[in-house]
Structure 1
Amino acid sequence: MNQQQIEVSKNVLVQCLGLRPGETLAVVADDAKRELAESIYEAGKELGAEAMLLVMKERSRSGEEPPAPIAEAMARADVAVCVTRHSVTHTQARKNAAAAGTRVATMPGMTEDMFLNGAITAEYTQVKALTERVTDMLTAGKEVRIEKEGRSLSFSIHGRNGVPSTGMYLNPGESGNLPSGEAYIAPVEGQGEGRIIVDGSIAGIGALPEPIELTIEGGRLIAATGENGKKLLSVLGDGYGRYLGEFGIGTNNKARITGVVLEDEKVYSTIHIAFGSNNTFGGTVAAGVHIDAVVQKPDVYIDDVLIMRQGELQS
């Protein structure tokens, strides 16, 4: 087992999750990510926690629920870390665990490289400060407009609260991704209109060799160009999966576009939109799928005020 991974795991468990000796730690993995999960499990044991390693069959897509016994173990632990190929972030299991007071970190698609480099190495007190500032801007806003390469997409966030994913989950019920650094919000369902160029990556597809254009009408994705656009439509299906479910802004200056959306959506200078479930963070869509699409260096307006110019947040 990689000792460096165990040392990084210890750092993450203490700094980001505040794990203390004697606490219960549930490490949830699937077959694809078992090795990384074992490093976290070993680190938990070395820190004096009552650590458990729970391995499940790989889910078929992001947003699919884990088996009930794993969901129950998450809800009964002090700290839960989920290292899986597909994301359990937007699942009822994660939501219920947080509601029960568990401190939860999800690491969908985590790779060995990401574990040792990039976003995980950020100074998280700085990430937290910026994330909270951007979250406040989202919460105060009513309307978002994203502009890039002559395309424009607008949608309402009126009455919705921004959510900070700071990378620091130290209090009961706090949860989010690791590595982290994003502020996000659930757009009002049924109100998005326009087109957007996606040129970063898409969850489950990876880094995009060429940009795709998405067309949204009545808050639903109705068209997507190119081969990867077809793939996206296929994964989302024809139902609630096509609803515009999330708008997020990356706040981690150490994050890189790697093709793994867990890191890609945290990159400072990017935004992302997602389709599908948002009922776990303030929306009403429960689709059993949640797919993020990352956009590099756009212009972003909240209530007609420019808050991001070509990826740079304006002070």
Structure 2
Amino acid sequence: MGSKLVDNSRNALISSLTLREEETLLIVTDDSKKELAEALYAAGRSIGAETLLLIMQDREKSGQEPPSVIAEAMKHCDAAVCITEHSLTHTQAKKDAVAAGVRVATMPGITYDMFLEGAISADYDQVEKMTFEVTEKLSQTKEVIISKGGEELTFSIKGRSGVPSTGIYRKKGQSGNLPSGEAFIAPVEGTASGRIWIDGSISGLGKVEEPILLTIEEGRLTAATGRQGDMLLRMLGDGDGRNVAEFGVGTNDKARITGNVLEDEKVYGTIHIAFGSNNTFGGTVAAGVHIDCVVKAPTVFLDEVLLLEDGDMKRG
């Protein structure tokens, strides 16, 4: 186990979660991410925290619940880190832990490279500032219009609250991804309509081989082009997995498109649309799946005010 890996893990636990030696840290992992989790375990021990490591079998897809014994344990610690192949971010287990006051950082699909370079090395005070700016704009918006490559997608976010994922979870019940840097919101169910090009990456499928055109009608994904489009439709199924669940804006200038959505969706100047569950952040759908699709350099209007122009953020 590399010393830089443990050092970066230690820095993340201190800067993101302000982990203290009198606290209990629970690390939830699976077979795929066990070795990286052991670096976090060593880091937690070096801080002096009571550190526990629970290993489960890999989940089949993002948004699938962990075993009940792990869900129960997540409610009984001061801080929890979920370092897994598939995301636990949008699960009832995470929601219940947060409700119990636990500080939760989720690291779905994180790699050695991401631990050593890229988004995790950002100035998180700057990331936090920009994330809060965008979140406030989302919370005040009624309608979103996204355009790219001659196609347009519109939906309502009226009455919904933006959610900041800053990478800083220092207070009871705060949670989000690590590395982070995004502002996101749950579109009003049934309102999304239009088409959008996906040219970044898709969670579970990696970088897109060629741009995928998604068709959305009455808040549901109805068609997707190409081989990866077919795979996306299969992962989502025919039910609530097709729901337009999330609209997010990347705010981390150190993040890179790597094929791993954990980092890709944080890239400054990108947006992402997710399908499936959104009941953990203001929506009404629990689908047992949540798949993010990243779009590079879009143009985005919030109530006719320009937020992004070909990926260039308009501040102020």
User: What range is the shorter-chain TM-score in?
Assistant: over 0.9
CA distance in 1, matches of 2:307, 2:46: 45
User: Residue in 2 aligned with 1:5?
Assistant: 5
Distance (Å, rounded) in 2 between the aligned partners of 1:307 and 1:19: 35
Q: Report the CA distance between 1:170 and its aligned residue.
A: 0.2
Q: How far off its partner does 1:286 sit?
A: 0.4
Q: Match for residue 265 of structure 1?
A: 265
Matched residue, 1:157 = 157
Residue matched to 1:190: 190
- Give the match for residue 286 of structure 1: 286
Match of 2:70 in 1: 70
Q: Which residue identity lines up with residue 52 of structure 1 in the other structure?
A: L
- What SS does structure 1 have at the residue aligned with 2:85? coil
Whole-angstrom CA distance in 2 between matches of 1:133 and 1:305: 14
Query: Is residue 25 of structure 2 the alignment partner of residue 25 of structure 1?
Result: yes
Offset of 1:65 from its aligned partner? Answer: 0.3
The 2-side partners of 1:50 and 1:132 are apart by 32
Please list, as runs of the form range in 1=range in 2, the aligned pairs for 1:38-117 lying within 5 A after superposition.
Answer: 38-117=38-117
Equivalent residues in 2 for 1:210-289 (5 A)?
210-289=210-289
Deviation sequence 1:251-309 (CA, Å, 0-9, x none): 00000000000000000010000000000000001000000000000000011111110
The corresponding residue for 2:118 is: 118
Q: Which amino acid aligns with 1:290?
A: H
Aligned residue in 2 for 1:37: 37
With the length of structure 1 as denominator, give the TM-score of the two structures. 1.00
Determine the structure 1 residue equivalent to 2:167. Answer: 167
Name the CA distance, whole Å, in 1 between partners of 2:146 and 2:94.
30
Superposition deviation, residue 4 in structure 1: 1.0
TM-score, normalised by the number of residues in structure 2: 0.99
Percent identity over the alignment?
62
Q: CA deviation at 1:22?
A: 1.6
* Distance in 2 (alpha carbons) for counterparts of 1:304 and 1:214: 23
Runs of 4+ with deviation above 2 angstroms:
none
Residue 2 (structure 1) shift: 1.6
Alignment RMSD (CA, Å): 0.4
Distance 1:269 1:117 in 2: 19
Q: Say if 2:314 is the partner of 1:303.
A: no
Q: What is the CA distance between 1:176 and its match in structure 2?
A: 0.1
Residues paired across the two proteins, number: 315
1:201 aligns with 2:201: yes
The Cα offsets for residues 106-158 of structure 1, whole Å up to 9 and x where unpaired, read as 00000000000000000000000000000000000000000001000000000
Deviating more after overlay: 287-296 vs 71-80: 71-80
Tell me the residue number matched to 2:132: 132
Q: CA deviation at 1:37?
A: 0.3
